[in-house]
Amino acid sequence: MGLPMVVPDPTLPERVTIYEVGPRDGLQNESAVVPVEVKAEFVGRLIAAGLPIVEATSFVHPKWVPQLADAADLVERLDLAGPTPLPVLVPNERGLDRALAAGVTRIAIFGSATESFARRNLNCSMEDQYAMFEPVVARARAAGVDVRAYLSMCFGDPWEGAVPVDQVVVAGKRLLDLGATQLSIGDTIGVGTAGHVGALVDAFGAAGVGVDRLAMHFHDTYGQALANVLAALRNGVTTYDASAGGLGGCPYAESATGNLATEDLVWFLDGLGIDHGVDLDALVRTSGWMADRLGRPSPSRVVQALSG
């Protein structure tokens, strides 16, 4: 059975955008360094499968993420002028310098909704992160480069526990006010639930941030990712981050199963009759191909089911 039975829900959006993060967010968590030739082919296969946007890599210092030390080499092998956007993550102005030199036209920054994670991941306070990102966003926008903002720990933090909704909204709105065009709300450790999703979207709306500027980034640590997608759909959100084959893990939660698998999201959307433009069979083949190169099976349930 290659496709689910389609039972549309007229109350949900007719189309969504899948923001593929496997080559960056997925591969940066792998213990082994994947050859640049494999990464380039991976990106090409994802584009061929119909993913409308593929985040290619991160211009982070190799000391911190050695898996992505080949970012400049990889970008040279990609068609940045092609029809599929290939954004990269930049942590600071030095990363932006490298991205601009490489000819990148879309970047992302990565902020935190909690003090603990900001200090551990960004090596600065929550307040200081905005000062760090302000020149990055300003310079990027002046150069005609689009900026997306990720906000991590929006549903829970391993050191601080539950994160107040208002705290998340304040942090997210400040990133948008810097000049980011979209905010990706991250459930970094996968503890979010459907009601929590709705409460966050409502709170952003009350603060003047419409759903057209929001994206959702779910992890499936507790098996809630697709339930959370449904809750976000019911609240009008139409952009979802996902990682081909479920690549990527969370180093801050025991037994975390990583990012929502793109295949699982596609199957789910297909069943609802929601258009996304992705060829599921081609995507499954791509994730199977990458799993072979990583030497382990894909954690995606749909990849497992359709490859068996």
Which positions are catalytic?
250
Residue 250's SS3 state is coil
Q: Which of 84, 85, 134, 88 is nearest to 108 (CA)?
A: 88
Cβ atoms 18, 240 nearer than 8 A? yes
DSSP string, 23-84: IIIIGGG-SSPPPHHHHHHHHHHHHHTT-SEE--EE---TTT-GGGTTHHHHHHTS-TTSSS
CA distance linking residue 181 with residue 145, whole number of Å: 11
Beta bridge mates, 106: 146
Gap between the Cα atoms of 121 and 136, Å rounded: 18
Q: Hey, is 219 helix, strand or coil?
A: strand
- Report CA 38 to chain centroid distance, whole Å: 20
